[in-house]
Amino acid sequence: MSNEKDGVYCKVCGGIIPQDTTVGSIEVNGKPTGINQLEWILDEVSAMHLQSDGDLKKELISRAKVLNYIPTKITEQYADALLRVYKERLSKKE
């Protein structure tokens, strides 16, 4: 039996990291972090036309949690990073 692994594994959760283009990247605590379906998450929240940062973070993180492992201890940092990416994307469209 071989000791070789059959994929690239996440250092946080141990799962296989998706290798397709549906994964976007955000910076959490200074580290690039993959978010599955990032564009879809941003599109869904954008369609809601929310104004407050609190509401935006709540919706962004709730969608991200459905499709990604997000450690409870740093959920707020993920929410902040998602909001930052959301606002950057929004400013590029203007």
Would you state the pLDDT for residue 93?
Answer: 75
Tell me whether residue 54 is in a domain. yes
Residues of the chain with pLDDT below 70 are 1-21, 94
Residue pointed to by tokens 């397709």 = 20
The pTM assigned to this predicted structure is 0.77
Tell me whether residue 31 is in a domain. yes
Would you state the pLDDT for residue 90?
Answer: 86
Tell me whether residue 18 is in a domain. no
CA distance 7 to 57: 32
CA distance 85 to 64: 13
Q: Give the count of domains, the chain.
A: 1
Tell me whether residue 50 is in a domain. yes
Tell me whether residue 9 is in a domain. no
Tell me whether residue 37 is in a domain. yes
Domain assignment of residue 74, given as a range: 23-93
CA-to-CA dists, residue 22 to 28, 35, 40, 51, 55, angstroms: 18, 8, 9, 26, 24
Would you state the pLDDT for residue 58?
Answer: 98
